[in-house]
Amino acid sequence: MEKFQIKTKSKEYPLFIGSGIIAELQTFLHEIKLNKVSKILVITDESVSNLYLERVLSVLQSLYSVTSVIIPNGEKAKSIDVYYQCQTKALEEKLDRASLIIALGGGVVGDLAGFVAATFMRGIPFIQIPTTLLAHDSAVGGKVAINHPLGKNMIGAFHQPEAVIYDSSFIATLSEKELRSGFAEVIKHALIKDREFYNWLTQEVSSLDDLTGEKLQYAVQKGIEIKASVVYEDELEKGIRAILNFGHTLGHAIEAELGYGEITHGDAIAIGMLYAIKVSERVYGIDLSYHSFVSLFKRYGFPTRVPRQLSNDSLIDRMKRDKKSTASKIRMVLIREIGLVEVREVDEAILRLILDGEEE
């Protein structure tokens, strides 16, 4: 088991990572001084509850008054209705300001449970127990939110967890699709800030099958470290934090155009990262060996092209609507070299050119 401190300007909290560490949950609560909480509400989803809820409850039940709420699987759970159901449950179970919410699940559970915690009685503590590889990303940074039919993550808050407890044995039950989805964010973290880690990835992880044991743990830990260091600089997302959107401008557009859930987040941003690399080569007039990235991504099983059924016009429109963009230029994250990125406004014309060329 390893322990790291994640620092934000407003708070510092530990990340515990290791295989099977969920059994030590009580110890961790003690360590973060939450062993005196009046009540615990575990928020989880249908799939995760089948796999791990009993285990988590059994660790806690001897010492705590603990209850749980099971939300539907998938993005649709990030709705105002499910949010309100969780608030109602918390009130019915008589949680108070000295209570704790535990988010047990992937990114959706973390975002929803975190927003419930951020606003229940004006904010109570919560801890993240991520069960997916993708959640290594969302569990760090304090961004919590629900969706609105008019936009994803439109209603939310910044609320840092008291701890992140990452039991890497949970990863073993993930499908290849889910594992790959999370791995895309690991690669992104390497690309935006850490050439050495990127080299390690290309050498040590030749396929997704390598993502077990110590290698998995190292990959997650590095990913979280990079995410945390960017968030530290810019907790409230006013500047540098935007580099975390590398690959996300086109990635989000693809997800939205296909309809959420039709492609994994990781597959979408993998295509988006390759696109950002190609745009970078063009804008900076440099050679980044685009094709070497394509082969690497193929090795991991990522799609490397925009799905054929999508129209480039619609994708450009979507990218222009992104909340980080303005007028006829589109703000996106470009890469100068591995480990060095920057936010740039790029002409729509160039973006269209590369997008059209991509089909050839």
**What are the φ and ψ backbone dihedral angles of 147, each rounded to 5 degrees?**
-95, 165
Angle between helices 265-284 and 248-258 (to 10 degrees): 140
Quick check: helix, strand or coil at residue 248? helix
Smallest separation, CB 36 to a second copy (Å): 13
Residue 345 bears catalytic tag: no
Smallest separation, CB 155 to a second copy (Å): 5
**What are the φ and ψ backbone dihedral angles of 43, each rounded to 5 degrees?**
-105, 125
**Which of 92, 122, 291, 359 is the catalytic position?**
122
**Which of 189, 193, 227, 278 is the catalytic position?**
227
> How many Cβ atoms from other residues are within 10 Å of residue 280's Cβ?
24
- One-letter amino acid at 113 equals A
Residue 358 bears catalytic tag: no
Smallest separation, CB 158 to a second copy (Å): 6
C-alpha dihedral over 253, 255, 257, 258, to 10 degrees?
A: 160
The residue among 39 and 278 lying less far from a second copy, judged by its C-beta, is 39
**Which of 46, 75, 237, 281 is the catalytic position?**
237
Binding site for a second copy (CB under 8 A): 80, 84, 87-88, 91-92, 96-97, 118-123, 143, 145, 148, 150-151, 153-158, 236-237, 323
The residue among 10 and 289 lying less far from a second copy, judged by its C-beta, is 10
The residue among 55 and 152 lying less far from a second copy, judged by its C-beta, is 152
Smallest separation, CB 80 to a second copy (Å): 5
Report CA-CA distances (Å) from 359 to 2, 265, 291, 312: 45, 21, 15, 10
**Which of 245, 255, 257, 278 is the catalytic position?**
245
The residue among 20 and 123 lying less far from a second copy, judged by its C-beta, is 123
Residue 136 bears catalytic tag: no
Residue 235 bears catalytic tag: no
- Residue 299 C-beta-side C-alpha neighbours within 13 Å: 15
Residue 195 bears catalytic tag: no
**Which of 185, 225, 235, 255 is the catalytic position?**
185
Closest Cα partner for 315 from 267, 252, 270, 234? 252
Residue 265 bears catalytic tag: yes
The residue among 4 and 158 lying less far from a second copy, judged by its C-beta, is 158
DSSP secondary structure letters along 307-339: -TTS-HHHHHHHHHHSTT-BTTEEEEEEEEETT
The residue among 87 and 169 lying less far from a second copy, judged by its C-beta, is 87
Residue 245 bears catalytic tag: yes
Cα–Cα–Cα angle for 286, 291, 294, rounded to 5 degrees:
125
Smallest separation, CB 237 to a second copy (Å): 8
**Which of 39, 159, 241, 278 is the catalytic position?**
241
Residue 252 bears catalytic tag: yes
Residue 185 CA, distance from chain mean position: 7
- Residue 254's DSSP bridge partners are none
Smallest separation, CB 150 to a second copy (Å): 4
Residue 31 bears catalytic tag: no
Residue 241 bears catalytic tag: yes
Catalytic residues: 122, 143, 185, 227, 237, 241, 245, 248, 252, 265
